[in-house]
Amino acid sequence: MSLRDIPSVSTILDRIDWGNVQLPRQMVVETVRQELASVRASARNGRPPSSRQDILAKITSEIRRLNRPGLRGFINGTGIVLHTGLGRAPLSQKVAVDAAKAAAAYTPLEFDLESAKRGERLDHVVPLITALTGAQSALVVNNNAAAVMLSLNTFAEAKEVVISRGQLVEIGGSFRIPDVIQKSGAVMKEVGTTNRTHLRDFERAISDKTAALLYAHTSNYRIEGFTKEVAIAELAQLAKRRRVPLVVDLGSGALVDLALSGLPAEPMVEEAVHAGAGLVTFSGDKLLGGPQAGIICGKKSLISRLHKNPMYRALRCDKLTLAILERTLRGYSEKSPGKDNLAYRLLTTPRKTLRKRGEKVLSLIPRKAVTKLRITLADTTVEAGSGSLPVQSIESAALRFRPEKMKPTELARRFRTQEPPVVGYIKGNSFTIDLKAIQSSQIKDLAAAIGEVMS
């Protein structure tokens, strides 16, 4: 096939089924141009396509790939429930659908239906947050890093913030507490050492330039052994005496006692509030089990100042985020996040139940697939993810694949290109699909995906 036989852009466009394409026309045209340019370059290098049908098939395949939404549901076989790369806390169907219905229509985001006057968007969630944390008031922004930045910018711009060296953590994605402090406009003042910080270190560091004390919970790692950390209650008393606010960044932010459900214990937001912290910040999409958000709760006078900061408007949440957060918080009781909190439900699913689901998968696929892919059911341990509950692993179970005639990388690729895609992990010479983050409703889909991989 010569260069002159390669079809033109217009010829290809005329053969596209535009009724089934959900892409901007300009994007499709550019894709066709790029693919044809690649074909011509290959032909000039002595690798011409065999036929016009092959060219059309290749371009059609690429458009079909682009036509699938990038953000779509799939099966999380990594075992990490709060996986940052996979959207952190998953939402139950009920919460997601209810919130989407509210956000799809006109909704009284900033409108008081009783008085017919302008309302406040945070009124939909603040009463719930204060009831669950014991705080006087609350504020919500787009994530926890923003919550810390807004707090420090409001109270310590161009002034000093005192923090223990042992709490200068990296949050993730190379985003570190020192960076947050710097971008807030505050000046960081480190005290103590990496492993030991005393109350007297804070007392000596406070001066006329000090505007706030910052306590950052090391939720994504632990230092053990010869260590010393100043308790929140001690810092709160010191902050009160020296008339500066204490900002406590809890990161993950548990609203209930996780130990009651067999999970590793994590400091509760309510405990920090009762200990006397002026402001407590935490994430909405980690242990809380809701949408990406940064929640700030604490003393009413301090929250009021945050609300007046012009930066707040740039960081505030939209109606969909608040709708999801409201429904997530409404599910909470004194001891549990509720049956509709999918993240919590996945985290607390016992290994015995996961093994039964694994056995169900094996019963749904052909016996020869089990043999050829050498699938076994194994006990595993996983992490919660997103820096939450970092010390103790959580019991789980997984399907382990050790095919003789296929590399683990190829098997992983085949699973990722299924519909729905399945993502697991490779360790040694095996590919693993952990069952911890897989919903019971996805078991049949997982079995079907294994069958497709074999075919």
3-class DSSP state for residue 228?
strand
What mean pLDDT value characterizes the chain? 92
Looking at domain 93-340, its CATH class is: alpha beta
DSSP 418: S
φ/ψ region of 387 (left if φ > 0, alpha if ψ in -120 to 50, else beta) reads left
| Residue 172 reports pLDDT greater than 70 | no
Percent of the chain predicted with pLDDT > 70 = 97
- Mind listing the pLDDT tens digit for each residue in 87-145? 999 999 999 999 999 999 899 999 999 899 999 999 999 999 999 999 999 999 999 99
Question: What sign results for the dihedral spanned by CA atoms 275, 280, 286, 291?
Answer: positive
- Mind listing the pLDDT tens digit for each residue in 429-450? 999 999 999 999 999 999 999 9
Whether the Cβ atoms of residue 230 and residue 196 lie closer than 8 Å to each other: no
CA distance 243 to 253: 26
Which of 172, 183, 379 has the alpha carbon at shortest distance from 286? 172
Q: What average pLDDT does range 384-406 have in this prediction? A: 85
Whether the Cβ atoms of residue 30 and residue 59 lie closer than 8 Å to each other: no
C-alpha distances in Å from residue 173, one per residue of 83, 92, 176, 374, 383: 13, 27, 9, 37, 18
Whether the Cβ atoms of residue 67 and residue 37 lie closer than 8 Å to each other: no
- Mind listing the pLDDT tens digit for each residue in 241-289? 999 999 999 988 899 999 888 888 889 999 999 999 999 999 999 999 9
From the CB of residue 292, how many other CB atoms can be counted at a distance below 10 Å?
18
- For the chain, the first-to-last Cα distance in angstroms comes to 33
For 384, the token pair is 């919660």
Burial class of residue 245 in the structure, from the number of CB atoms within 10 Å of its CB (0-12 exposed, 13-18 middle, 19+ buried): buried
Query: ω before 421 within 30° of 0 (cis)?
Result: no
* 75-86+346-454 CATH: 3.90.1150.180
The pLDDT, as a whole number, for residue 66 is 92
Token pair 């990406």 in the structure block, residue: 292
What dihedral angle (degrees, nearest 10) is formed by the CA atoms of 12, 18, 21, 27? 50
The domains of the chain are located at 3-67, 75-86+346-454, 93-340
- Chain centroid to CA 25: 33
CA distance 182 to 132: 32
- Element housing 381 (H / E): strand 375-382
